[in-house]
Structure 1
Amino acid sequence: MNNKKLDKTRSNKCDMERETAIGKKGMVATAHPLATEIGHNVLKEGGNAIDAAVAIQFALNVVEPMMTGIGGSGFLMVYDSQSKTTKIFDGHSEAPKAAHSKMFLDDKGEVIPFKKRSTHATAVGIPGILKAMDAALNEYGTRSLAEMIEPAAAAAEKGVPMNWVLMDALELFEYRLGPHGRELFFPEGKGYKEGDTLIKEQLAKTFRILQKEGISAFYEGEIAEAIIKTLKDLGGFMTMEDLKNYQITHDEPVWGEYKGYKIASSAPPTAGGTSLLYILKLLEDFNLEKYGPRSWEKYYLFTEAMRIAFSDKIAFLADPRFNDIPVDGLLRDEYINERRKLINFESRNNLVDFGNPWKHEGKEPFKVVRQPDDMEKSETTHFTVVDQWGNIAACTSTVEHPFGSGIMVPGYGVFLNNELTDFDPIPGGVNEPGPGKRPVSCKTPTILFKDGKPVLTLGSPGGPTIIASVFETIINVIDFKMDLKEAIEEPRIFATPGPLISWEAGMDMTAKGELESMGYEFGEKPHVIGNVQAIQISPEGLYGAADSSREGTALGLDE
């Protein structure tokens, strides 16, 4: 595996030049240089942030197929500078009508192993990112969908270099690929080398159809028919009616405050925004700035706050169209104060478990069903754009786990997601599968405001680690006064309710030893947590920073 993925302490000049940028009239930050260049060109040619975001999404489908694509989903947050409003185009995947609560159990009633259930046709949710992008473009954009697809279609036809990020993904997750995906990446059984050109004729064909016919081709036309045939042949149960009837939602963000900043983040069915605000509220009174950024106290507080928040996230957050979700109770000061008492500075508190936010809403709690901890690390991508008018587009999009379900639609080059495996496999809880339901997610596109003006936008991929990546970056900027790039590169940690802490290279080893003496366990080796892309906005201009754990690239516009 490429060592770049493990070492976040490097400071290569060329990398810094690619990963950071300043600009007066626009900024783009994505995980891949081609996607950033395409978005930057849209801004340069007079397009706005929403136009650029749509072009970037298609470009990432070409260069990050293991992370995102039109066969997946996404949450696109848009800040409109004219109306000073923030909204989310929620293109999250949805379960087909035939989905049912026991769909991930075998004939004996036991949970189907994750690898098997996540690469089967029944794992595929109705993709929503195309409809989210199209709706945002129709409401706020200044360019046509066909124009914004063109750069990605041309790149797919010409071919793109295989970079180390994609090569590593193929090395680690080749087992997830179905026969058509394997044929693309391993023609005649032979793999590509880093730097080789990968031409995607089938995906380019799909993009050309979308340019000519619009997204209706994906949801009821030629592409839709190919998707349904592919899934039916593999034992899936999605229908043409499921695709045709899919609708996105337009969500209000969840709002909160942290040390004088107002924060807008993503609302359920993603747990990301609620959990982000919950963790920040838990930590706000601890005056983190008095501890060093690599002190054991900081790592301890981060860990316990995550353990507490994730206990409640797992128990209570799901699709609000089907469940009464206690977002208000979870974020109430009374509840936060009650939960903060679990933090004792003495040891890993074995009493950490989900609480009862319902009592703060005057309601009775519902049943919580414990789930197996067998899911693999999911992957995603995040990108963000600010234009010359001050509009912001921040999007986290995904096919869920690397290469999604691994199912590629033959003749069309589209990988289909495996997002339905975000449902609980054991039924009975708030996040059980069901027709028309959306599984809980952790996507967390976020914008921070100061005195009514946006000052920072950021997000990250990484499944549940998204929440950790975003809140830690925010605290590094606000509490530890770090430069944005420094805040992104500061080694991160991640924890769920159990004793295990995931960690990145560069974590202070003395602090790690202190936490081990308090009852925490650490993975044997460090690994990358998240991939933050962010833009700071100030009267002096825009500062973009991309994470070094992929080929992140920031480009600014001055004219």
Structure 2
Amino acid sequence: MNKAIVLSVLLLQSVTLAAPTATGQGGAVATVDENATRAALGVLSSGGNAVDAAITAAAAIGVTEPYSCGIGGGGFLVIYDAATQRVTTIDSRETAPRNYTPNVFIGPDGKAIPFDERVNSGLSVGVPGLVAGWDEALRRFGSKPLRELLQPAIDLAENGFTVDQTFFDQTKANQERFGAFSSTRATFLNAQGEPHAVGSTFKNPDLAKTYRLLAEQGRDGFYRGEVASAVAQTVQQPPTVPGTQRNVRKGTLTVDDLRAYQAIVREPTQSTYRGYTIVGMPMPSSGGPTIALALNLLEGYDLSSAPRAEALHRYLEASRLAFADRGAYLGDPQFVDLPLEGLLSKQYAAERRKALGDRAAAGSVPPGDPYPFQNDPSYPMRPQAAKDTEGTSTTHITVSDRNGNIVAYTCTIESTGGSGITVPGYGFLLNNELTDFDAVAPHPNAPEAGKRPRSSMSPTLVFKDGKPVMALGSPGGSTIITTVLQSLVNVLDFGMTLPEAIAAPRATQRNGETTTAEPGFINGNDGQALLNLGHKFTETAEIGAATGIYFHPDGTVTAAAEPTRRGGGSAMVENPR
């Protein structure tokens, strides 16, 4: 064979084979799934911008990773517009139905309904916001019509994709509860009620039909008409299999709730750290504020020159203090007066830092008092937070385009598989997002009609001297916050590259008795030193599944996804180096 032809073939293979890291010029995409990354890159290559590509990726992930993200859920977009150099955030978080009450999760015995029963019920389903978020983002920043952006996902749903080990394992883990709902069984299990085998082709023609409706009708195709009616009917009368032993409670979501839903454009949370500007989501996502608080605490220490074990100790204890404050004070800002001015002030961090000792705290610590650092130092009730119940599913998409626009987009249906309830005939799972509320009132995050439950999603952008440095985010419930925080420390303090920071072993301290950590963290060089400092560990296989993009001074970009977690992710650039 001619040497030039051989070289061309090898170059083509290097571009098309899935990889967790890619460096080059032009647009870039990083997601958990090769199909989604490739579809988004196709949008960029055909002239679409970062917002267009992010929506295409989200729609594709709704097909190939339906247990993590889909139109039955919601999300948060952080968008950098290069032309104006402004950041816009779009909140498409799910809302509680309008007849929700603070006691919705309290049983007749006066106790909280068991968590598993809350999840697998119509009570847990919030009004989905994902499609409204797409609509808002496209109206403000998009360059291509939704019908064009949905076509790759329609093709995937219609023609199918190859089942991998992660899809099989997630289906297997949910097999029993999926089998309790006739529509979910029909959509995601085979004729024998088993997961589809690794290597087989999985198709979802019902979801293809639904995407076609959205392509034709836009947001009205979801929030009005047949899909809205089907969603409301499914929540109010969950399609359980006759004879199921599960106690599946009915929900109250109506077509009026769907018709009234609005995505909200909010001012981002902005903080500084060692000369960098960190921009993230505001409430009701606690990710941006909690990361900002933790970084303010860490800014009092020189982590780059400290022994690594000491630096990691500071990271873990700063996380503990930040989570104590998060649990006590944060909720939907349209329902709760939040002391964010105080919590995010450098002066409060200096005071709060006094509680960060040279040894690990023995267990949970109390919240601080941010009110003296407010212009309005009123003192509302500050109840203790309930146990964290956020699901560890979700997905994160990071995209940039050749013009410098950037999107960090985290979307979710909450638990892996959401509520477990598929809308019959339409092929998508409904969220269980309302289990993010603290079940027992009073609390800033207690259930209320129309309220958005507190989230931990943390799509984040980093700037230096007004120029983008990186964008990143992760799934993982409340571990999202620590995954992003640890990745920031890895890059900004420890000097790691973004791919190295994403691959590094993780640990998450969320004001608990122990720190949850991966084996590589516990057994690494600093694990024993941290034990000597009083840290106690609970081992877990993996934490988070981050993606990000780093912007180099020479104009090139590096897109990075997980190399192994959740089966590994996929990163691509338009013009690979």
Aligned with 1:432 (options 425, 435, 446): 446
Preserved CA contact (<8 Å) 1:176 1:405: no
Does the 8 Å contact 2:364/2:511 carry over to 1? Answer: no
Q: Within 2, Cα distance between the matches of 1:261 and 1:484?
A: 16
- Aligned-residue offset at 1:245: 0.5
1:134-149 → structure 2 map (5 Å cutoff):
134-149=135-150
Query: What residue is the counterpart of 1:395 in the other structure?
Result: 409
How far, CA to CA, are the matches of 1:23 and 1:183 in structure 2?
Answer: 43
- 1:225-267 per-residue CA deviation (whole Å, 9 max, x = no partner) reads 1111111113110011100001111011110111111111110
SS at match of 2:285: coil
**Pairing of 1:83-482 with structure 2 (within 5 A):** 83-177=84-178, 178-188=181-191, 189-234=193-238, 235-292=250-307, 295-348=308-361, 352-361=365-374, 362-373=376-387, 375=389, 377-482=391-496
Deviations 1:126-162, CA, capped at 9 Å, x for gaps:
0111111111111111110000011100110000111
CA distance in 2, matches of 1:163, 1:368: 46
Alignment TM-score, normalising by the size of structure 1: 0.94
The alpha carbon displacement at 1:519 in A equals 4.0
What displacement does 1:350 show? 5.2
Aligned length: 544
Shift of 1:515: 3.4
Q: Are 2:574 and 1:557 aligned?
A: yes
Classify 1:176/1:307 alpha carbon distance in 2 versus 1 (closer, same or farther; 3 Å): farther
- Report deviation, 1:514: 3.8
8 Å Cα contact 2:459-2:473 kept in structure 1: yes
Provide the C-alpha distance between the structure 2 equivalents of 1:432 and 1:16, rounded to a whole number of angstroms: 47
1:278 is aligned with what amino acid? Answer: L
CA separation of 1:190 and 1:352: change in aligned 2, threshold 3 A: closer
Moved more, 14-23 or 155-164: 14-23
Change (3 A) 1:347 1:494: closer
Quick one: which amino acid aligns to residue 575 of structure 2? D
Structure 1 residues 152 and 280 mapped into 2: Cα distance closer, same or farther (>3 Å)?
Answer: same
Superposed displacement of residue 511, structure 1 = 3.4
The SS at the match of 1:247 is: coil
For the residue of structure 2 that corresponds to 1:535, the secondary structure is strand
- Looking at structure 2, the residues matched to 168 and 15 of structure 1 have their Cα atoms a distance apart, in angstroms, of 26
8 A Cα contact 2:390 2:477, kept in partner: no
Per-residue CA deviations over 1:468-500 (Å, capped at 9, x if unaligned) read: 111111111111111111111111100121221
Which deviations, in whole Å up to 9, do the C-alpha atoms of 1:13-55 show, x marking residues without a partner? Answer: 9999601111211100111000000000000111111110111
**Offset of 1:508 from its aligned partner?**
4.9
Q: How far apart are the structure 2 equivalents of 1:15 and 1:422?
A: 39
User: How many Å separate the matches in 2 of 1:59 and 1:374?
Assistant: 30
Q: Deviations over 1:486-530 (max 9, x none)?
A: 11111110012122111113115363334334443322x332111
What secondary structure is seen at the aligned counterpart in 1 of 2:526? helix
In 2, the alpha carbon distance for the partners of 1:450 and 1:228 equals 47
> For residues 173-198 of structure 1, what are the alpha-carbon distances to aligned partners after superposition, in whole Å with 9 as ceiling and x for unaligned?
33442332222222222321111110
The alpha-carbon deviation at position 67 of structure 1 amounts to 0.4
Residue 464 of structure 1 and its aligned partner are, at CA, apart by: 0.6
How many angstroms does 1:414 deviate by?
A: 1.3
Question: Contact 1:369–1:426 at 8 Å: present in 2 too?
Answer: no
Q: Is the CA contact 2:391–2:414 (under 8 Å) kept in the aligned structure 1?
A: no
SS at match of 2:185: helix
Quote the Cα distance in structure 2 between the aligned partners of 1:15 and 1:200: 25
Amino acid at match of 1:195: G
Aligned counterparts of 1:175 and 1:435: Cα–Cα separation in 2:
31
Flag structure 1 segments of 5+ consecutive residues without an equivalent.
1-12
Shift of residue 75, structure 1, vs aligned partner: 0.4
Q: Secondary structure of the equivalent of 1:290?
A: coil
Partner amino acid for 1:47? G
- Say what the alpha-carbon RMSD is for the aligned residues: 1.8
* SS of the residue 2:550 aligns to: strand
Displacement of 1:334 in angstroms is 1.7
Contact 1:367-1:428 at 8 Å conserved across structures: no
Q: Distance in 1 between matches of 2:18 and 2:261?
A: 42
Partner of 1:4: none
Q: Is 373-382 or 143-152 further displaced after alignment?
A: 373-382
Alpha-carbon deviation of 1:215? 1.6
Cα displacement string for residues 372-425 of structure 1 (whole angstroms, at most 9, x for unaligned residues): 426264210000111011001110000001111011000001110000111110
Displacement of 1:281 in angstroms is 1.0
Secondary structure of 1:264 counterpart: strand
Aligned pairs for 1:512-523 (under 5 A) are 512-523=527-538
Matched residues in 2 for 1:76 and 1:43: separation?
A: 18
Distance 2:186 2:517 in 1: 35
Distance change >3 Å, CA 16–CA 519, structure 1 → 2? farther
What TM-score comes out, normalization by structure 2 length? 0.91
Q: 1:225 & 1:306 partners in 2: Cα distance?
A: 43
Deviations 1:74-96 (A, max 9, x none): 00111111111100111010010
How far did 1:301 drift? 1.3
**Structure 1 counterpart of 2:333, which letter?**
P
Identify which range, 506-515 or 94-103, moves more after superposition. 506-515
Over 4 Å off, 4+ runs: 13-17
Match of 1:531 among 524, 545, 548: 545
